[in-house]
Structure 1
Amino acid sequence: MSDNNMQRLHTNDLELGATEAIQKHYERHVVSTKPVSQRKLDFERARPRWLREMVAEATGVFFYVYPGIAATAGFMLNKQDAAFGSLFQIGFAFAFGIAFAIITCASTSGGHFNPAMTICFATWQGFPWKKVPYYIFAQIFGSFMAGLLVYGQYHEQIAAFAAATKAAGEGTVFNGGPASIFCSFPGPTQTNLGYLFFIEFFVDSYIGFVLWACLDPANPFIAPAAAPWAIGLVYALMVWGFADITISTNLARDLGTRIVAAIFFGGEAFSYHNYSWIAILVNVPATLFATAYYELLVRDSLQKIGKGAAFHEDGEEGLNLHLVKSNISRQSPMSPNMQKVFSLGSNGSTLNSGPKMETGFSLAAETNSN
């Protein structure tokens, strides 16, 4: 070991890189990062915010869909070899993909990654409706690119699989066929669309409710660091429970990859058993139902104000009036959150200060971390 390295060991410094992320957990010095140039700041300032948000949403959906359908491809193309995967592996691939999508991209766009969630944020949380169309376009585009890349990477194996299914007289578009690597199709005996609608609606409602609870800043049982994994896990649970019946769970995830399936396997990807509208559209009303259930029957907005995630529409006077009408006073036994609410109502709120964060996962994580 050189003298320079020995000298560095005695300084207790950490090298720049992954170790920088853990500096707050250890009392050590970190090597200074390269200074930010004015040129870089000018470039980032000139970069449109809408472009950053679209790129983040597209990238996040890509990170979610890409490992999921890649695991599906590995499993379906090697059914005779258990070493290449199972439904259990596919569920985890989607779960980890969702977690990594949130970790990498949510701080920029809010981390919607699902058109239904974007619509719910606009409905319940004040997300600008003017942003909804380009968020949804970016999400579908990210899914499309994931499907396109997986097809390119598995092209030889998929082509051989398609040739085999055609030779067997099965075609390419059916549950378990080449096209089902990319999007969902019902089984040959699953012709009851009402039944398939019910399955999809309940599965998506379950996911939407758990996701909305994870993003509730007043929820004391979910920490920001755990939320991505909890959200990913609920998707995996539904894959494990209902994939054999056929589920989609996400408009963007299904539509983007279904377009890829239609490009390479024909328009039957949309017309097969008249099912595609269920996979594409049911996710939206189901998630709206789940979030409405949470907002109308479960949400505690006063606790949300206490966490600093919201403010009264009439400001300090409105909050004070509500506290008086609710018989909340300094003498009343209060939880720490309620004490914070009383303090905000009495001394003035600063909830609307600080840098703006987009409605979504990042805002909830920021609030929960305070």
Structure 2
Amino acid sequence: MSTIKQAMAAPDRANENLAQKIEMAGSFSHEDPVSSNSSAPSDEGHEELLAWSRIRLTFRDAFSEFFGTFIMLLFGDGVVAQVVLSEETKGNYQSISWGWGLGVMLGVYVAGKSGGHLNPAVTLANCVFRGHPWHKFPIYAISQILGAMAAAAVVYGNYISAIDAFEGRGVRTVTGPTATAGIFCTYPAEFMTRTGMFFSEIVASTILQFVIFALADGGNTGAGALMPLALFFLIFGIGACFGWETGYAINLARDFGPRLVSYMVGYGHEVWSAGGYYFWIPMVAPFFGCLLGGFLYDAFIYEGKSPVNTPMLGLPRLFQFRRSVWSNTYQDPMSSRV
């Protein structure tokens, strides 16, 4: 009986084996020899791809902040260039506010994997009030500055012919009726005092961080998935309402990176000395403003974990020199990660 069953099953097994051979003949397996004319990737190329994937993962935050800031500055400096060089025939001050708002919105979309800070002062506020790892602060800040520099260089390269036509071939000025240095970084109005410059930047930066924390607060109305769009309106509003006096840099990377590029392409030492050496104010004031904005929001509105909502505002932790403490500012040592 068993012999009969085996005999009946034999044709089925033969058909299965034949089908498998036909299927294998129609496609290459990992072990099949590939002819020299085949376009299939080699094992070496596959290993290189995996190696780049590892690099991309390792530097994900750096790449994210670099390109997010790059996009922000492309639109921001780009719109200023178009308005200035066209002598306001292709836009006006409100166009600049729109352009910067769009730049921030699109930059945040690009840099979503890292949180879309795009601003060293915003990163610092997140380290202080939201437990963002301290060791990431220099990585974020350097990436943001480099992204801003790269964008300024691209904008300069794109508009170099227009700058030559506007100022004169090879002429690069910081002040005067045909100055173009303001395309890349901010300069204060002539009537501004040193105190007024500093105060103006602090006010705008405080508003920036206060509203960012409000938009990100799940316990408040929050912006959720509409965060980038909400930031568009925030930046547009700051520019439209508080931008005239100093140009609302509110961001070290946005101002210092392009200022350095403008110095390197020939605008000279005046990029540092103009406005009574104004250049240091947009480098320093945004940090004070963003810290103040974060403090005000946490002190009066925020109900989540924050050093402001701990005894003595969390100041005793500043003297606890342990890695578990300095990884962030408020998490319990048992739950902190570095």
The verdict on a shared fold, with TM-score over 0.5 as the criterion, is yes
Tell me what 1:238 maps to: 238
Q: By how many angstroms is 1:151 displaced?
A: 0.2
Tell me what 1:146 maps to: 151
How far apart in 1 are the matches of 2:88 and 2:221?
Answer: 46
Residue pair 1:59, 1:101 contacting (<8 A) in 2 also: yes
Q: By how many angstroms is 1:217 displaced?
A: 2.3
AA aligned to 1:104 is V
Which residues in structure 2 correspond to 1:292-303 (within 5 Å)?
A: 292-301=295-304
AA aligned to 2:279 is S
**Residue 75 (structure 1) aligned with residue 83 (structure 2):** yes
Residue pair 1:175, 1:185 contacting (<8 A) in 2 also: no
Q: By how many angstroms is 1:92 displaced?
A: 1.2
AA aligned to 2:235 is Y
Q: By how many angstroms is 1:165 displaced?
A: 11
How far apart in 1 are the matches of 2:73 and 2:229?
Answer: 16
> RMSD of the TM alignment (CA)?
2.8
How far apart in 2 are the matches of 1:283 and 1:124?
Answer: 16
How far apart in 1 are the matches of 2:91 and 2:147?
Answer: 25
Q: By how many angstroms is 1:270 displaced?
A: 1.2
How far apart in 1 are the matches of 2:134 and 2:128?
Answer: 9
Q: By how many angstroms is 1:244 displaced?
A: 2.2
Task: Identify which range, 97-106 or 38-47, moves more after superposition.
Answer: 38-47
Tell me what 1:345 maps to: none
Task: Identify which range, 264-273 or 139-148, moves more after superposition.
Answer: 264-273
Choose from 101, 105, 109 the match for 1:103.
109
Tell me what 1:267 maps to: 269
Long gaps (5+) in structure 1: 1-36, 303-310, 316-351, 359-370
Tell me what 1:15 maps to: none
How far apart in 1 are the matches of 2:52 and 2:159?
Answer: 37
Long gaps (5+) in structure 2: 1-44, 306-329
How far apart in 1 are the matches of 2:255 and 2:333?
Answer: 42
**Residue 206 (structure 1) aligned with residue 214 (structure 2):** no
Tell me what 1:65 maps to: 73
How far apart in 2 are the matches of 1:154 and 1:40?
Answer: 38
Tell me what 1:25 maps to: none
Give the number of aligned pairs: 266
Tell me what 2:309 maps to: none
Tell me what 1:228 maps to: 228
Q: Aligned to 2:224, what secondary structure does the other structure show?
A: coil
How far apart in 2 are the matches of 1:77 and 1:41?
Answer: 44
Q: Aligned to 1:154, what secondary structure does the other structure show?
A: helix
Choose from 118, 122, 130 the match for 2:135.
130
Tell me what 2:184 maps to: 182
Q: Structure 1 residues 115 and 276 mapped into 2: Cα distance closer, same or farther (>3 Å)?
A: same
How far apart in 1 are the matches of 2:66 and 2:50?
Answer: 25
Residue pair 1:67, 1:94 contacting (<8 A) in 2 also: yes
How far apart in 2 are the matches of 1:182 and 1:249?
Answer: 14
Q: By how many angstroms is 1:161 displaced?
A: 2.3
**Residue 86 (structure 1) aligned with residue 92 (structure 2):** yes
How far apart in 2 are the matches of 1:175 and 1:241?
Answer: 25
Residue pair 2:81, 2:183 contacting (<8 A) in 1 also: yes
How far apart in 2 are the matches of 1:39 and 1:106?
Answer: 28
How far apart in 2 are the matches of 1:87 and 1:259?
Answer: 24
Q: Aligned to 1:301, what secondary structure does the other structure show?
A: coil
| 4+ aligned runs moved over 3 Å, structure 1 | 37-45, 311-315
Q: Aligned to 1:146, what secondary structure does the other structure show?
A: helix
Q: By how many angstroms is 1:45 displaced?
A: 5.4
Q: Structure 1 residues 312 and 256 mapped into 2: Cα distance closer, same or farther (>3 Å)?
A: closer
Q: By how many angstroms is 1:131 displaced?
A: 1.4
Q: Structure 1 residues 173 and 314 mapped into 2: Cα distance closer, same or farther (>3 Å)?
A: closer
Deviations 1:347-368 (A, max 9, x none): xxxxx9xxx9x9xxxxxxxxxx
How far apart in 2 are the matches of 1:244 and 1:48?
Answer: 40
Q: By how many angstroms is 1:231 displaced?
A: 1.2
Task: Identify which range, 234-243 or 283-292, moves more after superposition.
Answer: 234-243
Deviations 1:234-265 (A, max 9, x none): 11111112332122111110011111121120
| Higher Cα Rg, which structure | 2
Tell me what 1:253 maps to: 254
**Residue 281 (structure 1) aligned with residue 277 (structure 2):** no
How far apart in 2 are the matches of 1:59 and 1:86?
Answer: 27
Q: Aligned to 1:184, what secondary structure does the other structure show?
A: coil
AA aligned to 2:296 is Y
Q: What's the TM-score once normalised by structure 1's chain length?
A: 0.66
AA aligned to 2:187 is F
Q: By how many angstroms is 1:216 displaced?
A: 1.4
Q: By how many angstroms is 1:50 displaced?
A: 4.2
